Amino acid sequence: MLYSDLCSFYGRIEELSGRLEMTDQLVELYRITPLELIETVVRLTKGEIRPGYEGLEMGVAEKLVLKALYMVTMLPVEEIEEERVRKGDIGSAAEILVGKKRQTSLFHEPLTVTRVFTSLTRIASVEGRSSQDLKLKLIAELLHDSTPMEAKYLTRTVCQKMRLGIADMTQIDALSYHNTPGIDELGDFLVHNGLPLDDGLVQAVRKHLATAMSTLAETRTLIKEKGMEKDVVRSMTERVQKIRSVVQENRETIVRAYNIHPDLGYIASLLASGGIGNMGHINVTPGIPLRAMLGERLPSISGIMEKMGGKVALEYKYDGLRVQAHITDMGKNVILFSRQLENITDQFPDVAGYLGSMFKGQDCILEGECVPVESGTGRMLPFQVISQRRGRKYDLEDKIEEVPVILVLFDCLYLNGSEYIGKPYLERRDAIRQAIPDLSERMDTGSGLALSRMEIMTDADEGENFFLVALDDGCEGVMAKSVGEGSIYQAGNRGWLWIKYKKDYHSELMDTMDLVIIGAYHGSGRRGGTFGAFLMAAYDSDDDVFRTICKLGSGFNDRHLEELPALLTELQVPGGQNPKVDTRMEPDVYIIPSIVLEVKAAEITFSPVHTCAWGYLKDNAGLALRFPRFTGRIRDDKGPYDATTVREVIGLYGQQIKSL
């Protein structure tokens, strides 16, 4: 398979905004991909060689790529650097520069997908003193043989800036269609019976699957306008609905596998070798992070009690960093993963050490919140303090002493060869104690580990008291957890088995929101030369686009205003809007959705300009935040797809109405 075939798809996908159109392109791409290359194609499309949680970095700075471009094109260095600045993106610059070279170079061997992947793997794995020279050589060899379009995606991949904007769930949708037999036959059947498939087979079938054929009205139209026989239309509808339910089932099966083994390349390879049935072979495995279970929210303890059937476990809700700890070899090996599934073991060697020495067993996966504490007393400190530890390489030793942390454990997902995610909450809690017998609910800086404080309650007033004590102890609220038989760990899901209740709920709008920066406005006066406000969006996970909800200008201090422009320079969209963003407001600069900020507001109102939930609750109006304020917390533990969703905003609007 030629790399240029793959790049043609990337070119088309980049122009698209809608999830459905992207899915169509991906389904088509998988159709033309030989089975043995599916895994490679899925990985390249994600812009990676190995799953993110393995932490394999390309280790290539843009400077090195510019050097390779110089070696290959022989254009003046200044011209190369100017093009990079003008385009604002290494890929687009490489496309133009390699285009200029093409006219002079005669020999080149077409790039295959396999050759590109093999070279990229070597680029990522070379280490040692002369590694930069070898990386340079490998990049130059690829660029020498690449077309301008291939150069665009190659350079983006080596710089780890692929940014096609394809959410993992869209790849999963495409894999579900690809692994549903009978779609081609269904297409033939529809054409044979007079349904036009102008857009191509997959698109048309998918569209019919998604909408048209399911409604009675459409069936009637077909009969009336196209003069079709009633029986034919009925049989078409039945066949379409049958296939649709198989696609849906397949999707759920793949999502379940992905939630416990979030490596799309691996999933695609299993699908290629044995179809959907192979998903059953995916099990929880120490060393491979599971996607986190998330909780819903409610504004009162009595509401929570009612929702959970009158009996709940209330736990302190600690304000720190969520950590998933994977312990193997009887404690000799410990890996810590963040909420974003990054390997953060190097930043918390102290925590890894505590777990390794106190664990009693063969292997296990535990989850907890890593909280900064005052040394000696164990008193909890504000969450922000922990960010001093993140991303450190050099003075980490000093920071460990300066900012001690305690890992407060609240779940056990695997123990001594057995999966625990399907077991009820209380059994999982017992398993934490079994894994680490010397654990107490006291915040003890000596051991560095604690068990989350928990009480089982049947009375809402007692619950309120527990909540107030939690606040007194420095927590941000409580987490209510179902204790029923069905209280399993739902990896990757936000559900009603966990419900959070926070102190914010007592004032203003219930809960803060985590919103994505999609644009920025230049500042004036004291903020001259930097940004004065940001255009913020919620994530519409149904359509896979970001929809605006407020313009955010307050809550920023001088440090933020200094830090944010540096973070945003790399993310500015050259030449205007991003297709993944739905906005009716025009910022001075568009920003690729990436940075998530925590925002508080007075209330949610209807808005004629913001596009969040546009037309959903009211015609020609969306939902917006009134008096939005940055809380000071940059959510670097969240990616754009983990931001507050449009559905959640609609839910919060509903709760606001109820509380009035």
Coil/strand/helix, residue 536: strand
**Quick one: which of 318, 489, 501, 546 contacts ligand ATP (CB under 6 A)?**
318
- For residue 30, which amino acid is it? Y
CB 610 within 8 A of CB 596: no
Closest of 439, 457, 105 to residue 309, by C-alpha: 457
Residues near ligand ATP (CB under 6 A), total: 14
398-404: long-range pairs with CB below 8 Å, 24+: 400/349, 400/350, 401/375, 403/372, 404/350, 404/372, 404/373, 404/375, 404/445, 404/448
What DSSP line would sit under 438-496, residue for residue? S--SS--TTTSEEEPPEEEES-HHHHHHHHHHHHHTT-SEEEEEE-STT----TT-EEE
Tokens of 274: 């044995």
294 binds ligand ATP (CB under 6 A): yes
Based on CB atoms, which residue is closest to ligand ATP, 139 or 344? 344
**Quick one: which of 452, 548, 578, 607 contacts ligand ATP (CB under 6 A)?**
452
500 binds ligand ATP (CB under 6 A): yes
Catalytic residue among 101, 152, 317, 638: 317
| Span from 188-196, 217-225, 312-320, 606-614 in contact with ligand ATP (CB under 6 A) | 312-320
Based on CB atoms, which residue is closest to ligand ATP, 37 or 407? 407
Based on CB atoms, which residue is closest to ligand ATP, 10 or 410? 410
Based on CB atoms, which residue is closest to ligand ATP, 177 or 316? 316
Residues paired with residue 328 on neighbouring β-strands, in sequence order: 333
479 binds ligand ATP (CB under 6 A): yes
315 binds ligand ATP (CB under 6 A): yes
| Residue closest to ligand ATP, measured at CB | 322
**Quick one: which of 156, 317, 423, 580 contacts ligand ATP (CB under 6 A)?**
317
Question: Considering the complex, what minimum distance in angstroms separates the CB of residue 652 from ligand ATP?
Answer: 12
358 to 352, 367, 413, 414, 426: CA distances (angstroms) = 10, 15, 18, 17, 22
Q: In whole angstroms, what is the distance from residue 174 CA to residue 185 CA?
A: 18
Question: Considering the complex, what minimum distance in angstroms separates the CB of residue 479 from ligand ATP?
Answer: 4
Closest of 650, 643, 597, 598 to residue 624, by C-alpha: 650
Q: Would you call 317 a catalytic residue per the annotation?
A: yes
Q: Checking phi first, is residue 310 left (phi over 0); if not, alpha (psi -120 to 50) or beta? A: left
Based on CB atoms, which residue is closest to ligand ATP, 118 or 541? 541
410 binds ligand ATP (CB under 6 A): yes
Q: How far is CA 379 from its chain centroid?
A: 33
Based on CB atoms, which residue is closest to ligand ATP, 41 or 167? 167
Based on CB atoms, which residue is closest to ligand ATP, 269 or 512? 512
295 binds ligand ATP (CB under 6 A): yes
Residues in Cβ contact with 430 at an 8 Å cutoff, skipping those fewer than 6 apart: none
Question: Considering the complex, what minimum distance in angstroms separates the CB of residue 13 from ligand ATP?
Answer: 28
124 binds ligand ATP (CB under 6 A): no
Question: Considering the complex, what minimum distance in angstroms separates the CB of residue 295 from ligand ATP?
Answer: 5
540 binds ligand ATP (CB under 6 A): no
In this structure, the number of other CB atoms found within 10 A of the CB of residue 282 comes to: 20
514 binds ligand ATP (CB under 6 A): yes
| Span from 175-183, 317-325, 413-421, 431-439 in contact with ligand ATP (CB under 6 A) | 317-325
| Span from 168-176, 287-295, 521-529, 553-561 in contact with ligand ATP (CB under 6 A) | 287-295
369 binds ligand ATP (CB under 6 A): yes
| Span from 44-52, 58-66, 250-258, 289-297 in contact with ligand ATP (CB under 6 A) | 289-297
In this structure, the number of other CB atoms found within 10 A of the CB of residue 659 comes to: 11
Closest of 569, 593, 575, 568 to residue 583, by C-alpha: 593
Beta 321-328 vs 364-372: how paired, if at all?
antiparallel
Based on CB atoms, which residue is closest to ligand ATP, 322 or 390? 322
| Span from 36-44, 314-322, 327-335, 617-625 in contact with ligand ATP (CB under 6 A) | 314-322
Q: Contact positions toward ligand ATP, by CB under 6 A? A: 292, 294-295, 315-318, 322, 369, 410, 452, 479, 500, 514
Active site residues: 317
